[in-house]
Amino acid sequence: MGWGLWVALMAAVFSLPAVTQAAPVVSQPVQAQPIRIGALKFGSVAWELDVIAHHGLDRKHGFSLDIVPLAGTQALKVALQAGGVDVILSDWLWVSRIRQTGSDVTFAPYGAWAGALMVPAASKVRTLGALAGLRLGVAGGPINKNWLLLQAMAAKEDGLHLADETDVVFAAPPLLRMEMQTGRLDAVLTYWQDAAMLQTAGFRRVIDTAEVARHLGVPRQVPFLGYVFSSAWAELHRHSLVSFLAASREAKAILRRSDDEWERLALLTRTEDAAQLHAVRDAYRRGLLDHWGEDERRAAEALFGILAGVGGTPLTGGQTRLAPGTFWAEDHF
């Protein structure tokens, strides 16, 4: 081999890229996906979120819970629609109503707690017909679901037009509870927590909304409240959403079985003593939803028809049926 050829060969060899040892692959921890949930400071959803955080159920299920405190139900809706939060608690009537305006929000059930009609223990009121001429307090406003269903039952079974034949007072539950305890109201239709508190003070339950629904031909347990979120967001974050709903159900299971957990939450429930706490605890457990499927969705459709017949356009936005997609199709248990 000539000297020139040897030099050229050596130059080619030394110009090849150096073979280096591959660096070890270091696995990076998977970042938990955050879910921003808008929530009021008090109420049953605050209890559930506290249980999730206290027991680390978000970490267990692979997401990060980011609680965004908001001041009222309207603020929750505005925050969701503006993209400030991912999930809020609301009802399927609102979901159906705004879907007809082009919104893509959808609903996964939270619980089936029912309001109740309460009277003093000595009251002669045993049926809705006996409310005629009495002073009746109603929690919420004129299109409150409990109130609309009670009107429908009174009209069906007693021929009574409650809105015209009673002296109706609309107010917040704490004020109604005080008015009942001071004797300025003859009866009150209020939310489930306040009904439980009134029961510990010696007041009597006449009927609750679940019973009213059965009288109106809807035997299935229907949750009005649920977690509400954008369908598009759910599609992009399906794993995180499913994980959140699993953590929600696990938190409810803890509240179903553990009395100690309720003692830990006592301050957050704003109950005044052990009797009230236990009454709220028992009422909460009665409202837990054991099943959600096609039968319950059809029952909700039936309730929508009844509510629309009483509440009309202010309640439904002029709809005659629930908007398609109101309920998240992937959620069932």
Q: Looking at residue 278, which CATH number applies to its domain?
A: 3.40.190.10
In a domain, 302, yes or no: yes
In a domain, 63, yes or no: yes
Which of 147, 180, 215 lies at the terminal end of a domain, its last residue?
215
Q: Which phi and psi (to 5°) does residue 19 adopt?
A: -85, 115
Q: Which phi and psi (to 5°) does residue 107 adopt?
A: -130, 135
Q: What pTM, to 2 d.p., does this model score?
A: 0.88
In a domain, 9, yes or no: no
- Could you tell me if 211 and 205 are in contact, meaning their C-beta atoms sit under 8 angstroms apart? no
In a domain, 326, yes or no: no
Token match 């009673």: residue? 166
Within this chain, do residues 147 and 95 fall inside the same structural domain, yes or no? Answer: no
Q: Hey, what are 10's tokens?
A: 């050596």
Token match 């009395």: residue? 259
Residue 332 has a pLDDT of 87
Total domains present in the chain: 2
Within this chain, do residues 47 and 76 fall inside the same structural domain, yes or no? Answer: yes
In a domain, 25, yes or no: no
Within this chain, do residues 278 and 231 fall inside the same structural domain, yes or no? Answer: yes
Residue pLDDT, tens place only, 179-218: 999 999 999 999 999 999 999 999 999 999 999 999 999 9
Mean pLDDT of 35-63: 96
- Could you tell me if 110 and 37 are in contact, meaning their C-beta atoms sit under 8 angstroms apart? no
Q: Hey, what are 194's tokens?
A: 């306040």
CATH number of residue 170's parent domain? 3.40.190.270
DSSP E strands: which ranges in 2-146? 33-39, 63-69, 88-91, 105-111, 116-120, 135-139
Residue pLDDT, tens place only, 250-286: 999 999 999 999 999 999 999 999 999 999 999 999 9
Within this chain, do residues 228 and 310 fall inside the same structural domain, yes or no? Answer: yes
Share of the chain above pLDDT 90, in %: 86
Range of the domain at 156: 116-215
Strands 187-190 and 63-69 turn out to be unpaired
Number of H helices, E strands in the chain: 17, 10
14 pLDDT higher than 80: no
- Collapse the DSSP code of 249 into the 3-class scheme (helix H, G, I; strand E, B; otherwise coil) and give the result: helix
Residue 234 has a pLDDT of 97
- Could you tell me if 67 and 49 are in contact, meaning their C-beta atoms sit under 8 angstroms apart? yes
- Collapse the DSSP code of 215 into the 3-class scheme (helix H, G, I; strand E, B; otherwise coil) and give the result: helix
Chain center to CA of 76: 12
Residue 33 has a pLDDT of 85
Torsional class of 159: left (φ above 0), alpha (ψ -120 to 50), beta (otherwise): left
